[in-house]
Amino acid sequence: MAVRQALGRGLQLGRALLLRFAAKPGPVSGLGKPGPAAAWGRGERPGRAAGPRAQPGPLGLPLPDRYRFFRQSVAGLAARIQRQFAVRARGGAGPCGRAVFLAFGLGLGLIEEKQAEGRRAASACQEIQAIFTQKSKLVSDPLDTRCWQGFRLEDYLIGQSIGKGCSAAVYEATVPTLPQHLEKAKCVGLLRKGPDVLPKGADGERAPAFPFAIKMMWNISAGSSSEAILSTMSQELVPASRVALDGEYGGVTYRRSRGGPKKLAPHPNIIRVLRAFTSSVPLLPGALADYPDVLPPRLHPEGLGHSRTLFLVMKNYPCTLRQYLQEHTPSPRLATMMTLQLLEGVDHLVQQGIAHRDLKSDNILVELDSDSCPWLVISDFGCCLADERIGLQLPFTSWYVDLGGNGSLMAPEVSTALPGPRAVIDFSKADTWAVGAIAYEIFGLANPFYGQGRAHLESRSYQEAQLPEMPKSVPPDARQLVRSLLQRETSKRPSARVAANVLHLSLWGEHLLALKNLKLDKMIGWLLQQSAATLLADRLVEKSCVATKLQMLFLANLECEALCQAALLLRSWRAAL
Where does 261-305 have alpha helices with state H? 287-290
332-351 and 496-508 helices, crossing angle to 10°: 150
Alpha carbon of residue 177 to chain centroid: 36
CA angle 8, 14, 20 (to 5 degrees): 130
Query: Please, are residues 167 and 218 in contact by the beta-carbon 8 Å criterion?
Result: yes
C-alpha to C-alpha distances, 458 to 169, 412, 515, nearest whole angstrom: 30, 9, 41
- Antiparallel, parallel or unpaired: β 212-217 and 308-315: antiparallel
Q: Cβ neighbours of residue 575 under 8 Å, at least 6 residues apart?
A: none
DSSP string, 356-423: -----GGGEEEEE-TT--EEEEE---TT-B-BTTTBTEEE--STTS---S-STT--HHHHT----TT-
Give the other-Cβ count within 10 Å of 544's Cβ.
Answer: 19
Cα–Cα distance for residue pair 563/502, rounded to 1 Å:
8
Cβ contact 85:105 at 8 Å = yes
Alpha carbon distance 366, 368 (integer Å): 7
Per the annotation, the verdict on 358 as an active-site residue is yes
Determine which one of 155, 347, 358, 387 is catalytic.
358
Using CA atoms, how far residue 115 sits from 40, 121, 208, 330, 561, in Å, is: 21, 10, 61, 44, 13
Just list the catalytic residues.
Answer: 358
